Amino acid sequence: MFEYRKSMKDFDGDMLDVVLEPQLKPGEKELVQVTHHECHFYANDGQQKIWIREDEDILRSKHIGRLIMVSAFLLSNEQLQANPHIGNKEAFVLRFIQTDGYWKSEHMLDQLVHQAIPIFELLHPGCIGVFCFDQSTNHNAMAADALIASKMNLSPGGAQPKMRDGWYINEHDERCAQSMIFPNNHKLKGQQKGIKQVLKERNLWPTKGIRLMCEQCSGKHDDINPERIDCFIVNFGQDQCVDTKILDRFHPHFGLRMRENLVTRSLVQ
Give dist(CA 193, CA 154) in Å, integer.
9
pLDDT digits over 63-87, tens only?
Answer: 777 778 888 888 776 655 545 555 5
Q: Which amino acid is at 118?
A: P
pLDDT for position 244: 43
Give dist(CA 227, CA 236) in Å, integer.
17
pLDDT digits over 137-175, tens only?
Answer: 666 677 888 888 888 888 898 888 999 999 999 888 999
- pTM here? 0.56
pLDDT for position 239: 46
Helix axes 256-268, 238-249, angle to 10 degrees: 140
Ordered alpha helix ranges (H), 65-208? 97-100, 105-111, 117-123, 195-201
> Which range, of 13-22, 127-136, 160-169, 235-244, averages the lowest pLDDT?
235-244
Which pLDDT band holds residue 219 (cuts at 50, 70, 90)? Answer: low
Residue 5, classed as helix, strand or coil, is helix
Give dist(CA 144, CA 160) in Å, integer.
11
Give dist(CA 235, CA 239) in Å, integer.
9
pLDDT for position 28: 94
Whether 107 has a pLDDT exceeding 90, the answer reads no
Nearest residue to 192 via CA among 228, 235, 144, 239: 144
Q: How many CA atoms lie within 13 A of 169 on its CB side?
A: 2
Cα distances from 261 to residues 134, 217, 239, in angstroms, run 26, 43, 20
More confident residue, 225 or 177: 177
For residue 84, give every residue at least 6 positions away whose Cβ sits within 8 Å of its Cβ, in sequence order, or none. none
Residues 178, 167 contacting (CB under 8 angstroms): yes
